[in-house]
Amino acid sequence: MKNHRLIPITLIAAAVLAGCSSLPASNSLLDQARSDYNTAQANPQVATLAAGELKQASESLDKANNALSKGEKSDTVDHLAYVAKQQTAIAQETAKQKAAELAVANANAERDKVRLAARTQEADVAQRSAEVSQREAEKSQRQAVAERQVANAALVDAQSARQQTQDAEARSRDLEAQLKDLQAKKTDRGMLITLGDVLFDTNHAQLKSGGLRNLQKLGDFLKRYPQRTVMIEGFTDSTGGNIRNMELSDQRAASVRTAMLDMGIASERITSRGYGESYPVADNKTSAGRQLNRRVEIIISDDGGKIAPR
């Protein structure tokens, strides 16, 4: 009867052992899954960026561990370990994906910053070049103004020079006209005006009123050209005594000089001298020649006031 009691207990033990196989000490796939999981867990990126996925892997790994410790069949443990291993890999990939997405987001921000910096720089460059252009424009404008001023000044100079030339020409023409009016002749010593014997009565040194009128023109000329001086020279014909002729010619020249002084010409500008019957200009044998020799000659100096001596 004792033996009968043991039969069911023996059957139960046999069923457990045969039906669910023997207890394996370890499982290589589970070892692999544990190792993978530990690696993932140690990675802070996975722990923070794929926390949910890592938790799932952890739960699967627990199941596999439990199965192993309960002594379940190796294909059960293998299956659970495989799922745990794949879920660990999923956690790893998720973390990589999220990290890359973060990098893209950061890079977007960085790119925006770089673009902004580029635009700022472009704007700065454009402004600087605009300023440079402006300065150059101002500079060239100033140069243009200066050049125009120089050109104007040159024009004014040219006009003034032309004016001076014209003035000088006008003065020269005027002088020529005056000298022509005085019937002056050009000689080596200067312009020569010859006054005939009509100025004086015979043997007298007193100017006649008609002669005085003639001298008025000379006075006007000297007033107009104050830098010029005159030399008044008196001459007679050969009639009469030599000494008397010298005296007469000297007195006549002095008379002319006095008349000029009376007109307001400064005394230092006028010199006078008599030469008597010397330096005849015509033959004293004829009356016409003698008339020509009775004369007063007035030499007008150049602009320097100099007169070459006879």
Interface contacts to another protein, rule CB under 8 A: 4-5, 7-9, 11-12, 15-16, 19-20, 75, 79, 82-83, 86-87, 89-90, 93-94, 96-98, 100-101, 103-104, 107-108, 110-111, 114-115, 117-118, 121-122, 125
Taking the least distance from each CB to another protein, the nearer of 57 and 296 is 57
Q: Which is nearer to another protein, 47 or 179 (CB)?
A: 47
For another protein, give the closer residue by CB, 127 or 160.
Answer: 127
Q: How far is the CB of 9 from another protein (least distance, A)?
A: 7
- Least distance between another protein and beta carbon 42 (Å): 19
When the beta carbons of 111 and 173 are compared against another protein, the nearer one is: 111
- Give the integer Cα–Cα distance in Å for 78 and 202: 174
Residue number, 87 or 214, with CB nearest to another protein? 87
Q: How far is the CB of 139 from another protein (least distance, A)?
A: 26
- Name the token pair of 222: 């000297």
- For residue 107, the minimal CB distance to another protein (Å) is 4
Contact 185, 191 (CB under 8 A): yes
Shortest CB 140 distance to another protein, Å: 28
Instruction: Spell out a b/e string for 62-100, using b for 16 or more CB atoms within 10 Å of the CB, else e.
Output: ebbbebbeeebebebbbbbbbbbbebbebbbebbeeeee
Given a contact cutoff of 8 angstroms between Cβ atoms, the answer to whether 57 and 46 are in contact is no
Q: Which is nearer to another protein, 93 or 181 (CB)?
A: 93
CB of 23 to another protein, least distance (A): 14
